[in-house]
Structure 1
Amino acid sequence: MSNTPFRIGFLPLVDAALPILARELGLAEAERIDLTLVRDMSWATVNDRLLYGHSDAAHLLAPLAIATTLGLGRPATPLSVPFVLGLNGNAITLRPDLAEQITTVGEPGDITMIGTRLAAIARAARDGGNVLRFGVVHRYSSHNYMLRYWLAGCGLDPDRDVRIVTVAPPFAADALAGGEVDGICVGEPWNSVAVDRGAGVIVAVTSQIWLRGVEKVLAMRTARIDEDPDPTQRVIRALYRAGEAFVDPARLDDIAAILARPEYLDGSADLIRRAISDQIRFARGHELVHVPDFMFQHREAANFPWVSQAAWLYAQMCRAGHTSADQAEYRAAQHVFRPDIYRAALRPLGVPLPGASSKLEGGIGDPLGVGTTQGRLILGADRFFDARSFDPEALSDYLENAASR
């Protein structure tokens, strides 16, 4: 039986690792998938390629999959997310002179205190007619929503006190170095590129904002899955095996070398190795710092598409004014994440599968055993920096409370 051709679009980011490893380690081939990877330079292009049928799936921003399904900014095309490619892995990097005013350069700090100091500077800059500019990778990105969540939680109005603009990930360090923006929120290795150039200082990582926050996903046109679910399930199994390899400490050097190749990230294997081993250099000339769970993969069902993650992202879209809360739309947004497909694909492997499809986001403070349909599963903390939680059954209350803050 011949292998099934399957194309996945991606951007040169460390969290594209699992599709890359599925191909390079022969894991897709073992599932009879002839996997082709197509590299692009912007999320808009990755999404267009997916929507127009030039690819079968995409390494995609989780909120963009929801926005596309809802028809925000373009005609609606239903997408499904059967697999999460990674949690966290982003950072907020500011120009060095700004970072020096709000944090101890070169080391992680209390991000509430850092944000409060930044808020005072941002308001003064606004009043002086020189509004601070922050670059994020897309309007509908977790980068944008986590940055906005942090800024709002520290007393800033993300729409009035600062300006948030879009910069494609490969150009984020250039934009910071060129003075086009005062800060960036982007995935690795682009924060580290800015740090090594001396163009920026990391002041926060997104795991400090929302520990275990959803980041990139495998997105597919729902119609493509419905036509024939079998290839999708085989791809998911290959990606799961790639996750097993990704978290193996003995394979760090090999994985970093693969990702650094010109056809993939086309960058420094050393910078990439830092990210996948949770070793972050916050400022040039300083020592590496171990940031536990900076980039979270595979463990604790990290690749499971929790419906409540999609619900939280929809809530942030409402807070940002990108849509208005609507129950039918809310149900459609949640349905983008497909735990049913994840379970169907991985059940034959005997791996732990959560029994629930939704949970209280931000509600786990200590390791917690959860119900499963097979195997045993313990989830670690998933707290938000402000100690708030999100109940997907109480969207209206959440938005009312957020508006009154």
Structure 2
Amino acid sequence: MTTRYEITAGFVPLLDSALLVVAKEKGFAEQNEIDLSLMRERSWASIRDRLAVSHFNVAHILAPMPIACNLGLSAPAPEMIVPMALGLGGNAVTVSADLWQSIAGHGANADLDARNNGIALRRVIERRQEGPLRLGVVHPFSGHNYELRYWLAASGIDPDRDVEIVVLPPPDMGDALAERIIDGYCAGEPWNSFGVLKRGAHLATVKAAIWKSSPEKVLGVNARWAEAHPEALSALIVALDEASRWCAQPENHLELAEVLAKPAYVGRDKELLLPAITGNLPIGGGETRSVNDFFVPHAKAATFPWKSHALWFYTQMVRWGQVRHSAPLQQIAAETYRPDIYRAALNARGVAMPSASSKVEGALMKETPVGSSGALSLGPDGFFDGSLFDPDAIEAYIAAQAAK
């Protein structure tokens, strides 16, 4: 097939780059007339910078980063849009064996329960004598940073006073833990499995327990390129939708791990990738746990760019002092995510998708069919502390968080 569109995409070697990798490797890009070039980067700052100078047209990127760029918080930066998400979940909080032993001694269980294990961590911190624990995240404008902070704060731990949060590239997390540079970290896969299987670490909890059905990586697109190449972007969304369906099929899980394990992509043994793909996670001490919806590439509108997700990230930027709240900045955050482009690309193909662009996050306690066709289910999407985020009540939410 003759290609009509040439698209260059950046990615960081993580499991959730899967949709871009599979679109190229399994021919979905080519079938949609795209010559897709993938360029591997080690850090999120490099992804941002190369988007800014148009080395990339699009990228696998942290879900909050395009918002931060558009708010002027992360420079140099392009104006970005997010016309598609790249899946739900996929992160965990990993701690050293010593810290886990202390947490377990104060009531933590191996079930990865966010509430119980957060309380146990607070008890350890309250009794700690040798200075604050140091916890790693991959970037200040990352889901990892915000979900870790949310978990800590809702557990009675002040993320800015009771612990020290530092930034490290994902591939360095496990080694930094083994060298006692950090005591724990929140990262994507395969770096939690690497920490457990190769560096003797233990999982404390997972993203799917902190905020169920929560966003992680998205397709970040240089806004100028998107405006100039709408047909190419639409074709890419179609190809990635097809890739998401392929990734979701259990019979493809082993092949997906093998493809991602190639040196050009994640470059780690498939045995480090399979646990997260299947949801059967090594948690430490030779034990495994099955985690429902640990990484969701397609079901539950996993690729839909909800404006309510964008606005929740914005509230966390406000909460942690990265930006001052204002109505114009809130609007910029909301307009970064573009479900209109997603719908325009996929409507004609009969893809089941939400009719709304926002929802109350945390309102669904169980998986719930939506729409008249029943072809789409959403949720559960609850926060572990039982709170709700209503995108139509931003100021009240920000005020309530400031009061905690």
Give the TM-score of the pair, scaled to structure 2: 0.96
Q: Which moved more, 1:309-318 or 1:288-297?
A: 288-297
**Equivalent in the alignment of 1:134:** 135
Q: CA deviation at 1:65?
A: 1.1
Quick check: 1:10–1:38 contact (8 Å CA) kept in 2?
A: yes
Structure 1: 5+ residue stretches without partners: none
Quick check: 1:196–1:284 contact (8 Å CA) kept in 2?
A: no
The answer as to 2:78 corresponding to 1:114 is no
**Equivalent in the alignment of 1:311:** 311
Counterpart residue identity of residue 204, structure 1: T
In structure 1, how many angstroms separate the alpha carbons of the residues matched to 2:225 and 2:188?
29
Per-residue CA distance 1:145-164 (angstroms, 9 max, x = gap) = 00000000010111011110
**Equivalent in the alignment of 2:294:** 294
In structure 1, how many angstroms separate the alpha carbons of the residues matched to 2:109 and 2:39?
36
Equivalent residue runs for 1:38-187 within 5 Å: 38-74=39-75, 77-103=78-104, 107-125=110-128, 128=129, 130-187=131-188
Per-residue CA distance 1:52-105 (angstroms, 9 max, x = gap) = 100110100011111011110425632100110011100000111111222378
The answer as to 2:350 corresponding to 1:353 is no
Q: CA deviation at 1:349?
A: 1.3
Give the % identical residues. 41
Per-residue CA distance 1:268-324 (angstroms, 9 max, x = gap) = 1012111111110000422x2211101112012110000000000001111111111
Quick check: 2:175–2:199 contact (8 Å CA) kept in 1?
A: no
Structure 2: 5+ residue stretches without partners: none
Structure 2 CA distance for partners of 1:190 and 1:368, relative to 1, 3 Å = same
In structure 2, how many angstroms separate the alpha carbons of the residues matched to 1:81 and 1:198?
36
In structure 1, how many angstroms separate the alpha carbons of the residues matched to 2:301 and 2:133?
38
Structure 2 CA distance for partners of 1:284 and 1:198, relative to 1, 3 Å = farther
Quick check: 1:198–1:283 contact (8 Å CA) kept in 2?
A: no
Equivalent residue runs for 1:394-405 within 5 Å: 394-405=393-404
In structure 2, how many angstroms separate the alpha carbons of the residues matched to 1:377 and 1:251?
22
In structure 2, how many angstroms separate the alpha carbons of the residues matched to 1:77 and 1:35?
21
Structure 2 CA distance for partners of 1:2 and 1:366, relative to 1, 3 Å = closer
In structure 1, how many angstroms separate the alpha carbons of the residues matched to 2:117 and 2:283?
14
In structure 1, how many angstroms separate the alpha carbons of the residues matched to 2:296 and 2:112?
20
Counterpart residue identity of residue 390, structure 1: F
Query: Equivalent residue of 1:7, what SS?
Result: strand
Quick check: 2:112–2:206 contact (8 Å CA) kept in 1?
A: no
Q: CA deviation at 1:228?
A: 1.9
Q: CA deviation at 1:119?
A: 1.3
Deviating above 6 A after TM superposition, structure 1's stretches of 4 or more consecutive aligned residues are none
**Equivalent in the alignment of 1:211:** 212
Counterpart residue identity of residue 171, structure 2: P
Query: Equivalent residue of 1:353, what SS?
Result: coil
Q: CA deviation at 1:251?
A: 1.1
**Equivalent in the alignment of 2:368:** 368
Query: Equivalent residue of 1:393, what SS?
Result: coil
Q: CA deviation at 1:124?
A: 3.3
**Equivalent in the alignment of 1:385:** 384
Query: Equivalent residue of 1:176, what SS?
Result: helix
